[in-house]
Amino acid sequence: MTERLIVDDLAFDVQRSSRRKTVELTVDRGGELRISAPPEADTAWLEGFVREKRFWLYTKLAEKELLQHPVTERQFVTGESYPYLGRSYRILLVDEQSDPLKLVAGRFRLRRDAQREGRQAFVAWYSNRATEWLRQRVREWAPRMESEPQALEVRDLGFRWGSCARGSKLFFHWATILLPPSIIDYVIVHELAHLHEANHTPEFWRRVRRALPTCDEQRAWLAQHGGRHTAPLMADGNS
């Protein structure tokens, strides 16, 4: 009898093997989810493992959905829309301006000679805005979290929204700036809590909830919608 594991809105077939020493998640061609695990991996541990990988899972599911139900590819043309802080803004191509991309009066103004490298222009713009936004919000949240980050850097983190390193340095994915502000706050609080607790221990979650009582709602939103929300820009290239 096939073992099944349900985590929120995700359902997995669990395949156990005594020859396996690690856990592996697989998204099949049709979108079916599978966990390959050693016999000793208990259900609670597997649930925690899945929740750690939800961003990756939802992104992969979004990619599968796009393959099965192709949609018109987004173009960098007048009228096309792109996200920023949880809202969509339409592009307006312009012949002249100082920077390749600007947000002016509710429109993304993209210089026409930068249209061919439109994604690079957007990623650079998002990265700059993310750095400004995140530094300001981290300064506001750090005292409440009793944390003292020493540095902050925005980069491509693959399938992670954020991480922290030795020396209390914080890293955030540039795509966080595409998310709604309340969700970005959750990502920030999450990483600040990691400066105290490296792992997702009960004490870690107590710290997060003390600072952000709505964190469970934001965490669920991020897990369910985050990958799909950012997939159009992150899927094009090596993100």
pLDDT in tens, 160-192: 899 988 778 999 999 999 999 999 999 999 999
| Residue 198: pLDDT over 90 | no
DSSP 8-state assignment for residue 63: H
Note the pLDDT tens digit of each residue in 200-226.
888 999 999 999 999 988 887 887 777
Domain boundaries defined on the chain: 3-52, 119-234
CATH architecture type of domain 119-234: 2-Layer Sandwich (3.30)
Which band of pLDDT confidence, cut at 50, 70 and 90, is reported for residue 16?
Answer: very high
Note the pLDDT tens digit of each residue in 106-149.
999 999 999 999 999 999 999 999 999 999 999 999 999 999 99
φ/ψ (deg, to 5) at 103: -110, 110
Q: Which are the contacts of 155, defined by CB distance < 8 A and separation ≥ 6?
A: 127, 171, 172, 173, 174
Q: Which letter, b or e, does each residue of 75-89 get, where b requires 16 or more Cβ atoms within 10 Å of its Cβ?
A: ebeeebebbbeeeeb
Task: Tell me the pTM.
Answer: 0.72
Which band of pLDDT confidence, cut at 50, 70 and 90, is reported for residue 229?
Answer: low
> Do the beta carbons of residue 34 and residue 45 sit within 8 Å?
no
Number of Cβ within a 10 Å radius of residue 202: 8
- CA 10-11-16 angle, to 5 degrees, is 130
CA dihedral 214, 220, 223, 229 (to 10 degrees): -80
